[in-house]
């Protein structure tokens, strides 16, 4: 028997389950008539758990939770509508200006210019130029080369990466396991792990260099 479900509402995304009465059939022993009986649905409500993820509204900057499967939603605070799809941008893409609360990935073989991107998570491995803002995490991988305005809440440069930013990248906090060339401006903490290199000026509330880490440049106040 399918029971009635509670209407789900999260960040403007709404699902209304379908209620279908159970049908039972029996055949009379001596004739061909069928007796169909409808069983009334149970009036109690069942709470259905929907997998969700946290997003940050690009208009008001406040946090909301939306279903993972949602392709768009409304901010529960300011009611702004936003898209949540993920994108992979390759050479020749038609997406030059893009706003999404999903992930945008630019692979290593991509060369793109005059981009204007705002997204939740941004992963860059290719050579690009333009304006880029990640409201959560920015990951610079491989031989990424970025020219223009670049900002994020958190910056990660993984082990083995050798990346270049021109002129700078602005973040809240950063962790460098690989090598980054360019100016790094952080409101919080920058940590360079063993084997990591920061080749450029750094302005941060706290700069931590693990044994075996390297920083070549000025420590700006």
pLDDT 10s digits, 146-201:
999 999 999 999 999 999 999 999 999 999 999 999 999 999 999 999 999 999 99
The parent domain of residue 168 ranges over 87-220
Residue 179 lies in a domain: yes
Residue 80 lies in a domain: no
Average pLDDT score over the chain: 82
Q: How many domains does the chain have?
A: 1
Residue 29 lies in a domain: no
pTM tops 0.95: no
Residue 213 lies in a domain: yes
Q: What is the mean pLDDT of residues 202-218?
A: 96
Residue 104: Cβ within 10 Å count: 23
Residue 105 lies in a domain: yes
* Of 113, 107, 154, the residue nearest 131 (C-alpha): 113
The whole-angstrom distance between residue 107's C-alpha and the CA centroid of its chain comes to: 16
pLDDT 10s digits, 108-141:
999 999 999 999 999 999 999 999 999 999 999 9
Virtual torsion, Cα 152, 158, 161, 162, nearest 10 deg: 50
Pair 172, 188: CB distance under 8 Å:
yes
Residue 44: Cβ within 10 Å count: 7
DSSP for 41-109, please give it.
Answer: PP-S-BPPP--EEEEE-TTT--EEEEETT-SEEE-TTT--EEE---EE--TT-S-SEEE-SSEEEE-TT
Residue 182 lies in a domain: yes
The whole-angstrom distance between residue 161's C-alpha and the CA centroid of its chain comes to: 21
* Of 144, 145, 191, the residue nearest 172 (C-alpha): 191
Phi-psi region of 60 (alpha: psi -120 to 50; beta: other; left: phi over 0): alpha
pLDDT 10s digits, 10-62:
444 444 444 444 444 444 444 444 443 334 445 555 556 788 878 778 778 78
What's the rounded Cα separation, in Å, for the pair 50 and 56?
19
Residue 44 lies in a domain: no
> Distances from the Cα of 202 to the Cαs of 61, 67, 102, 104, 136, in angstroms?
26, 39, 29, 27, 21
Pair 191, 176: CB distance under 8 Å:
yes
What's the rounded Cα separation, in Å, for the pair 11 and 78?
10
pLDDT of residue 46: 56
Residue 66 lies in a domain: no
């Amino acid at each position: 028997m399918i029971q009635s479900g509670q209407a789900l509402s999260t960040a403007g995304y709404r699902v209304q389950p379908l209620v279908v009465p159970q049908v039972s059939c029996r055949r009379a022993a001596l004739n061909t008539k069928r007796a169909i009986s409808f069983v009334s649905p149970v009036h109690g409500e069942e709470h259905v758990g929907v997998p969700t993820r946290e997003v940050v509204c690009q208009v008001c900057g406040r946090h909301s939770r939306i279903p993972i499967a949602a392709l768009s939603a409304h901010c529960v605070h300011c009611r702004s509508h936003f898209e949540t799809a993920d994108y992979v941008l390759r050479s020749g893409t038609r997406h030059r200006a893009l706003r999404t609360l999903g992930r945008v990935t630019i692979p290593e073989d991509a060369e793109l210019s005059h981009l204007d991107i705002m997204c939740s998570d941004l992963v860059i491995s290719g050579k690009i130029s333009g304006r880029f803002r990640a409201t959560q995490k920015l990951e610079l991988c491989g031989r990424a080369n970025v020219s223009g305005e670049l900002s994020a809440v958190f910056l990660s440069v993984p082990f083995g990466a050798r990346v270049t930013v021109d002129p700078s990248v602005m973040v809240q906090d950063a962790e460098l396991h690989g090598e980054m060339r360019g100016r790094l401006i952080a409101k919080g903490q920058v940590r360079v792990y063993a084997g990591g290199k920061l080749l450029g000026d750094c302005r941060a509330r706290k700069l931590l260099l693990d044994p075996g880490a390297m920083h070549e440049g000025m420590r700006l106040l």
